[in-house]
Amino acid sequence: MDLGLADRTVLVTGGTSGVGLATVRALLAEGARVATCARTPDSLTALADGLGAGPDRLLTGATDIRDADATAAFVRRAADHFGGLDGLVNNAGQSRMKRLAETTAEDWRDELQLKFAGVLHTLHPALPFLRASDAAAVVNINAVLAKEPSPRLITTSAARAGILNLSASLARELAPDGIRVNSVCLGLIDTGQWTRRHAASGTERSYEEWQAELAADRGVALGRLGRADEVAYAVLTLLAPRASYITGTALDVCGGVARSAA
């Protein structure tokens, strides 16, 4: 099925690895034009070289999304370069593995700043361009932690819950402007960190055996970790003009790990 993304322009934050990279690849395969940013110039150079896409299809920029001015400048640059903006994928972020007793006030500030900056610092400057699109869509990459918090990731769980709430509010506020806002909530996705953990564990079990045991321990119904490309397919579905009546939803891509009824 043609998703209708050909010649659309989508900005993806954190597009040099994991889910972001898989999303950039999938968008280019659909014929979209992509702008993506990351903090390190070297990773962006490697991305452009690896994908082989020319400047008419791919624009990159070294940007820290915690810097509002720098992020706004990249958003404007992308819109000017491609003549507009139809989609935004807020993907940049990380998890903080700490319990309450281990966290500091700085941990809380940094986590909330990163998560909310990841959405708001791109969204605000993108709004004029999204309003001009006839099929504008925003997808916020989140996690099932937003609905099922873990005490091992207390700051990340709280921040994720806030972003889920924010996304629902944005969906209602921006609907009159024709801008759809949805979330994709991830479970255990193998973006490279798990293969590294397997290698560092010193186990004699194969990676397939090791990840199956991990999935069982975490209650993943499908018995394995997810792949970044499986997330990208969900992201593209929500970005697509064919999903024009979907807004304010949170799509779980978690292999059945979610235990909440909602």
Separation between Cα atoms, residue 104 and residue 130, nearest integer Å:
38
- Judge if 118 and 237 occupy the same domain: yes
Separation between Cα atoms, residue 61 and residue 75, nearest integer Å:
10
Query: Is residue 54 classed as helix, strand or coil in its secondary structure?
Result: coil
**Assigned domain for 262 exists:** no
- Judge if 237 and 152 occupy the same domain: yes
Entry pTM: 0.93
**Assigned domain for 260 exists:** no
User: Residues 158, 159, 164, 166: is their CA dihedral positive or negative?
Assistant: positive
- Judge if 108 and 211 occupy the same domain: no
Residue whose C-alpha is closest to residue 129's, from 85, 178, 175, 68 = 85
**Assigned domain for 203 exists:** yes
- Judge if 205 and 92 occupy the same domain: no
* pLDDT tens profile 68-120: 999 999 999 999 999 999 999 999 666 666 676 677 788 778 888 888 998 99
CATH of the domain at 135: 3.40.50.720
| pLDDT for residue 1 | 74
CA dist 106 → 39, 102, 159 (Å): 21, 11, 14
Amino acid at 74: F
pLDDT higher than threshold 90 for residue 221? yes
Domain that holds residue 234: 9-188+228-249
**Assigned domain for 15 exists:** yes
Q: Which band of pLDDT confidence, cut at 50, 70 and 90, is reported for residue 260?
A: low
